[in-house]
């Protein structure tokens, strides 16, 4: 079916030659003053809202997991302002001596761990706004997969760049969402009004630019994870936009996401090989000794 060039809603069947839906036609006529103000406006659902979905979205679930982990760390620790590197490693931080020696799950768990109250507050604020937009446009399961894959891509870049600095935070995955949206909007995946599209692109570009500059200027921020997440999101968003732009193309999206996941697994193997670590899967505490002991303080405990 054809879509309205103004709002992206699907036009009814046999709408040959039509480019604007009934809702937009009447809305524009009302703006020009051609119809009375109290004229009934046809009710048509927005193109990015699907019927029958629960009110609890993936963004709220991710938000809840991050807050629950943070509360657990706060109850187990002595402060909520700045957790020590040992505490973050205990709760799943991405740390090379453990991650590269078999605890690859840390590439994912670190996305839900934060270094302090300011760290989680800023990340959750960004997630709540950017995640809601990405989820509404991509749909639940695609959005969840993109978020997790970008989080792993961010963690893999971080551990490859500085393996001995514990890294935690959701900002790498959030940068991935920004990258996916930038690629999708730029390649025309979603049919939205031009004014809204340009404003969204400016906002996303400003978000990425400001945070990368801020991360480069401030110590203790893991810009490697930001860049890794952003690049992963750009790649995933571009491929989906070109090959499977519609939600109904689920098999194609699954194939795309599986290929990206396999590529990340290959990247993990290359990183382990680069640092001379045998590729294995399992707990690595017994193998971490000497110079690989957790640092008392490190500048790379956070991602934002």
Question: What is the CATH T-level fold of the domain 67-292, as seen in this structure?
Answer: Rhomboid-like fold (1.20.1540)
The vertex-183 CA angle with 182 and 186, nearest 5°, equals 80
Dmax (CA) for the chain in angstroms is: 79
Buried/exposed code over 2-18 (b: 16+ C-beta within 10 A; e: otherwise): eebebbbbebeeeeeee
From the list 84, 136, 155, 171, the catalytic residue is: 171
pLDDT, residue 33, reads 73
226 is catalytic: yes
Place of tokens 């989680």: 120
| Selection from 221, 178, 220, 217 nearest residue 200 by Cα | 178
| Selection from 180, 193, 173 nearest residue 133 by Cα | 180
Q: Are 120 and 70 in contact (CB under 8 A)?
A: yes
Is 220 strand, coil or helix?
coil
From the list 114, 191, 226, 304, the catalytic residue is: 226
pLDDT, residue 39, reads 62
pLDDT, residue 204, reads 75
Place of tokens 């992206």: 8
CA-CA distance, 177 to 149, in Å (whole number)?
A: 10
pLDDT digit string (tens) for the chain, length 304 residues: 456 666 656 665 544 445 677 767 777 777 677 776 666 655 555 544 554 555 789 999 999 999 999 999 999 877 777 899 999 999 999 999 999 998 999 999 999 999 999 899 989 988 988 888 889 888 899 999 999 999 999 999 999 999 988 999 999 999 999 999 889 888 864 555 555 566 666 777 777 887 888 777 777 788 899 999 999 999 999 999 999 988 889 999 999 999 999 999 999 999 999 888 877 777 775 445 444 555 544 444 466 5
Write the DSSP string, 157-182: HHHHH-TTS-B--SHHHHHHHHHHHH
Six-digit token string for 30: 């009302």
Six-digit token string for 61: 């679930």
Q: Are 153 and 264 in contact (CB under 8 A)?
A: yes
CA-CA distance, 173 to 171, in Å (whole number)?
A: 5
| Selection from 212, 257, 246 nearest residue 230 by Cα | 212
Counting Cβ atoms within 10 Å, is residue 59 exposed (0-12), middle (13-18) or buried (19+)?
buried
Q: Is the pTM of this model over 0.85?
A: no
Residue boundaries of the structural domains of the chain: 1-47, 67-292
Is 295 strand, coil or helix?
coil
Q: Are 52 and 95 in contact (CB under 8 A)?
A: no
Is 3 strand, coil or helix?
strand
């Amino acid at each position: 079916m054809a879509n309205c060039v103004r709002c992206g809603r699907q036009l009814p069947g046999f709408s040959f030659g039509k480019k604007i839906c009934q809702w937009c036609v009447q809305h524009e006529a009302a703006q020009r003053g051609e119809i009375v103000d109290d004229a009934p406006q046809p009710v048509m659902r927005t193109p990015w809202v699907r019927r029958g979905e629960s009110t609890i979205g993936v963004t709220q679930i991710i938000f809840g997991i991050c807050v629950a982990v943070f509360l657990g760390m706060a109850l187990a620790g002595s402060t909520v302002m700045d957790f020590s590197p040992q505490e973050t490693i205990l709760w799943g931080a991405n740390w090379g001596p453990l991650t590269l020696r078999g605890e690859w799950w840390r590439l994912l768990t670190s996305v839900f761990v934060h270094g302090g109250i300011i760290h989680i507050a800023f990340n959750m604020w960004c997630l709540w706004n950017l995640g809601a937009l990405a989820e509404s446009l991509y749909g639940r399961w695609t959005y969840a997969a993109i978020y997790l894959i970008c989080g792993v891509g961010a963690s893999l870049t971080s551990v490859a760049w500085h393996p001995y600095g514990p890294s935690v935070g959701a900002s790498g995955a959030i940068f991935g969402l920004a990258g996916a949206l930038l690629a999708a909007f730029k390649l025309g995946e979603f049919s939205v009004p031009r004014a809204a599209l340009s404003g969204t692109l400016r906002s996303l570009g400003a978000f990425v630019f400001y945070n990368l500059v801020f991360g480069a200027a401030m110590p203790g921020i893991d810009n490697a994870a930001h860049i890794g997440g952003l690049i992963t999101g750009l790649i995933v968003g571009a491929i989906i936009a070109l090959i499977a732009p519609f939600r109904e193309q689920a098999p194609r999206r699954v194939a795309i996401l599986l290929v990206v996941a396999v590529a990340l697994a290959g990247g993990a193997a290359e990183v382990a090989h680069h640092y001379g670590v045998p590729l294995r899967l399992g707990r690595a505490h017994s193998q971490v000794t000497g110079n690989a002991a957790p640092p008392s303080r490190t500048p790379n405990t956070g991602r934002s």
